[in-house]
Chain A
Amino acid sequence: MLTRLISGDTPRSPVLAALLGAILVALMFAPFLFPGVRALDTAATICIFILLVASYDLLLGYTGIVSFAHTMFFGMGAYGVALASIHMGRSYEALITGTVLGAAAAALFALVIALFSLRVRAIFFAMITLAVASAMAVLVSQLFQITGGEDGLTYRIPRELTPAFRLGEIFDTRINGRILNYYLVFFSCLMLFLLLLRVVNSPFGRVLQAIRENEFRAQAIGYKVVLYRTTATCLSAAMAALAGSLYAIWLRYVGPDTTLSFEIMLDVLLMVVIGGMGTLYGAVLGSVIFVLAHNYLQNLMGAGAEMFQNIPILPDLINPDRWLLWLGVLFVLSVYFFPTGIVGRLRANR
């Protein structure tokens, strides 16, 4: 039953299985295990990023295509929900409409980009997505009448999903709308993750891997490489948009910094690479480690910078603002030395 649920893609490493189990339990009971607003926020962010990173891994790890527009699709889902909530009022219909429209728009956009670039050379895709995504980010900040510009949009979601809605107490924890909202996010992410797992372990997913390994041979066997790559791109874009919608429902705010910025794109890249490309479990580990590190490591760097105050340059190097520097170094090193990521390492050590 369990094997069927994860589409026969077992972790194949006891340590990995234990880690994944622990993460699942921790996330499932997060409101009860880790009380506090910040902890719950971290848990929801982890859930959403797992989905986002897994959808990116479908593209990068399984199909071997580099895209820099993944946050654009993420943002489309988020802005879909935000705009629908503003224009249709506070209702579940607005959330559903926004989600569906956002995902559809993302898939359509991905289709157009893919048709232009993948037809010729997969490498065009990386460059074109970079150009389109940055154009979109500027466009969003310029069309402030519609998108709220740099300030972003705040909106109201149905009352049952907000902290104002009280339900009672279980195990000394007040059940409010925030917790219901968390479970909406959690179960949606879990279902979509299992769906992605199903996709990559289907015959379709096998073809994608074949294309990644040897495009020419896959073509020679008779698979339409462009068609498969395009489908994977659209699917991944739609999934990213769904993750964005969930993020918008959770935050009740969208803005360029939380959804569209290039920095998030880098974060996603790093999570995939650290966790392990070409395995969705890598997305889980990568997201958890990264989000936790992001939330708590910067404090550590600040402390370090104060400690080495008297030495030249060093305080500048470990200034919390130089967080990206170390991210970049880590990224380069992990592409060199751990191309298979943590999951690859764990599986190899079996």
Chain B
Amino acid sequence: MTIAPEHNPVFARLGWRDRLGQSAPYLLVPVLIAAGFAAIGAPSSWLTLTVSGLAMGMMIFIMASGLTLVFGLMDVINFGHGAFISLGAYMGVSVLFWLSGWTEAASLALNVGAIGLAILAAMLFAGAVSWAFERTIVRPVYGSHLKQILITVGALIVLEQLIHVIWGAEEIFLLRPESLRGAVTFFGAALEKYRILAVVIGLGIFIAMRLVLRHTKIGLIVRAGVQNGEMVEALGYRLRLVFVGVFIAGSALAGLGGVMWALYEQVITAGMGENMMILIFIVVIIGGLGSVEGAFIGALLVGLLQNYVAFLEPKLALVSNIALMTAILMWRPQGMMPVVKAK
């Protein structure tokens, strides 16, 4: 018999270094905004760029949030996510054209109402298609990443081509509703009205999502499922069902993001979702797969950096995102806030 080695467990408070490490991702956004101010100099253009960067970041976040949760929950990687962005955009824009009486009236209430209806239609449509998508495309390939990637890429192409068949192959131009055109001046900085609306909607969705995830039972199940799915199933919850719900909700959000992006760019093409997927993947990777907060911070970083760099050195704008991703992965190979997955 040997005596157990002597040990005196003590509770130590985290040192400042560890605490800084934990909160570092949250600090990155203010740091980047400050760095942008230092690099740009002129406060008015800095403010304009910051708002447009935040607007862009919010929209990317809306589109990326579903993808990261779907991955976290069921280990499913959906390259076809971009198709829901395009589908939502086309549906929303069709509704906007249909409601042209509302969008051309100079009344804010009617304009916002038209956008609201367009968003609703887009979300319902994207959600409905994603339900069928989940059943036919994704369900048979649970558990095999290789097949998931191949199948969903194929499905992305098919859906994009179907958009061509239904809505035609040409890009569609649209105008923003009357009262959202133009800009307001604020401390000498021109802030486009629509971008402010985009920031408001994006922030609202982030807060709503956080509330649902943190303070409701379903949110608890989703978060627990991301961390340890088997355990949640063992406790009697049907994670498959939750997953389908999250998949549909995530795709509906992608559709919403599509409508907002369409109004932002004022032109839509069937390939827009595919192009957005590149930014979305960058956001999801640097945020940490499965983490909603990480995706939010990542999206803001991408949006801000892209706008700052495009102002300072237009040619580098595209490479800036890749550089950001490289830097973050060097710092944290799993992304900023990876969800610890019990395997």
Chain A positions near chain B (C-beta within 8 angstroms): 60, 64, 66, 116-117, 119-124, 126-128, 130-132, 134-135, 138-139, 142-143, 262, 266, 269, 273, 313, 316-317, 321-322, 324-325, 327-329, 331-332, 335-336, 339
Contacts and interface: CB of A to CB of B under 8 A. Distances in A.
A135 B326 CA distance: 13
A336 B151 contact: yes
A127 B284 contact: yes
Contacts of A127: 77, 281, 284-285
Contacts of A134: 275, 278
A322 B157 CA distance: 11
A149 to B, nearest CB: 13
A316 B289 CA distance: 39
A327 B329 CA distance: 35
Interface string B264-306: 0000000000110110011011000100000000000000000
Interface string B146-159: 11011101111110
Interface stretch (B107-115, B161-169, B227-235): B161-169
Interface string B320-343: 011001100110011000000000
B145 interface: yes
14 contacts: A66-B149, A120-B334, A123-B145, A123-B149, A126-B77, A126-B79, A128-B281, A130-B277, A130-B278, A139-B319, A266-B153, A317-B165, A332-B158, A335-B154
Nearest to B147: A335
Nearest to B75: A123
A66 B153 CA distance: 11
A329 B154 CA distance: 7
Contacts of A332: 137, 151, 154-155, 158
A313 B158 CA distance: 16
B291 to A, nearest CB: 14
A291 B7 CA distance: 71
Contact of B165 (A132, A316, A335): A316
A316 B168 CA distance: 9
Contacts of B321: 131, 135
B318 interface: yes
B315 interface: yes
Given A123-B145, A327-B157, A321 B169 contact: yes
Nearest to A263: B157
B333 A119 contact: yes
Question: Which has the most chain A C-beta neighbours within 10 Å: B155, B169, B275, B322?
Answer: B322
Interface of B: 77, 79, 137, 140, 145-147, 149-151, 153-158, 160-162, 164-165, 169, 274-275, 277-278, 281-282, 284-285, 289, 315, 318-319, 321-322, 325-326, 329-330, 333-334
Given A120-B329, A266-B153, A331-B150, 9 more contacts: A127-B77, A127-B281, A131-B321, A131-B325, A135-B319, A328-B156, A332-B151, A335-B150, A336-B140
Given A313-B165, A331-B154, A126 B149 contact: yes
Nearest to B277: A130
Contacts of B150: 66, 269, 273, 331, 335
Contacts of B315: 142-143
Given A131-B278, A332-B158, A336-B140, A322 B164 contact: yes
A116 B326 contact: yes
Contact of A66 (B146, B157, B319, B325): B146
Contacts of B334: 120
Contacts of A336: 140, 151
Nearest to B275: A134
A327 B155 CA distance: 10
Contacts of A121: 289
A275 to B, nearest CB: 14
A131 B161 contact: no
Contacts of A124: 285
A317 B81 CA distance: 23
Contact of B318 (A64, A139, A329): A139
Nearest to A319: B165
Contacts of A119: 333
A139 to B, nearest CB: 7
B146 A324 contact: no
A328 B318 CA distance: 28
B265 to A, nearest CB: 16
Nearest to A119: B333
A122 B321 CA distance: 21
B325 A128 contact: yes
Contacts of B151: 332, 335-336
A269 B153 contact: yes
A322 B154 contact: no
Given A120-B333, A331-B154, A324 B161 contact: yes
Contacts of B146: 60, 64, 66
